[in-house]
Structure 1
Amino acid sequence: MTGTALVSVNVDQEIIDLARRHKAAGGVGLQVLNIVGGQAENLLERLPDGVKNRLEDATTKALEVAMSAAHQSRGVVKDQQSWLNTALATAMGAAGGAGGLPTALAELPVTTTVLLRAIQGIAHEYGFDPADPEIRKECLLVFGSAGPLADDDGADMAFLSARVTLTGATVHGIIARIAPRLSVVLGQKLAAQTVPILGAAAGAATNYAYFSYYQEMAHVHFSLRALSQKSGHSREALVERMKIATKNL
Structure 2
Amino acid sequence: MSDTIQPPPRQQVFPPLDREAELDRLALKLRTASGVGRQVLNMVGAQAENLIGMLPERVRAGLEKATAAALEQSFNAAAATRRGRIADAPDWLTRAIAVGTGAAGGMGGVPTALAELPVTTTVILRAIQTIADEHGLDPSRPEVRAACVRVFAAAGPLDDDDGTDLTFLTMRLTVTGSAVQGMIARVAPRLAIPLGQKLAAQAIPVIGAAAGAATNYIFTSYYQDMARVQFGLMRLSEQTGEDMETLTEALRRRLA
Match of 2:97 in 1: 88
| Coordinate RMSD, CA, aligned | 1.9
Tell me the equivalent position of 1:53. 61
TM-score, normalising length from structure 1? 0.93
Separation in structure 2 between the aligned mates of residue 189 and residue 212 of structure 1, nearest angstrom: 14
Are 1:24 and 2:39 matched, yes or no? Answer: no
**Larger radius of gyration between Structure 1 and Structure 2:** 2
Matches within 5 A, 1:1-249: 8-74=16-82, 75-153=84-162, 156-161=165-170, 163-168=171-176, 170-247=179-256
How far does residue 108 in structure 1 lie from its aligned partner after superposition? 0.4
SS in 2 for 1:153: coil
Separation in structure 1 between the aligned mates of residue 15 and residue 213 of structure 2, nearest angstrom: 42
Cα offsets for 1:35-92 (capped at 9, x unmatched): 1101111111111111000111111111111111111111241111111101110111
Tell me the percent identity. 53
Offset, 1:138: 0.9
- Name the structure with the higher helix share: 1
- Matching residue's letter, 1:177: R
Structure 2, gaps ≥5 residues long: 1-9
Shift of 1:156: 3.4
Give structure 1 regions of 4+ aligned residues with deviation exceeding 4 angstroms: none
Deviations, residues 167-189 of structure 1 (Å, cap 9, x unaligned)? 23522111111111111121111
| TM-score scaled by length of structure 2 | 0.90
The residue type equivalent to 2:26 in the other structure is: L
SS at match of 2:157: coil
Contact 2:135 2:235 in 1 (8 A): yes
Rounded to whole Å, the distance in 1 between the matches of 2:138 and 2:47 is 39
CA 1:54–1:15 in structure 2 vs 1: closer, same or farther (change >3 Å)?
same
Unaligned 5+ segments in structure 1 are none
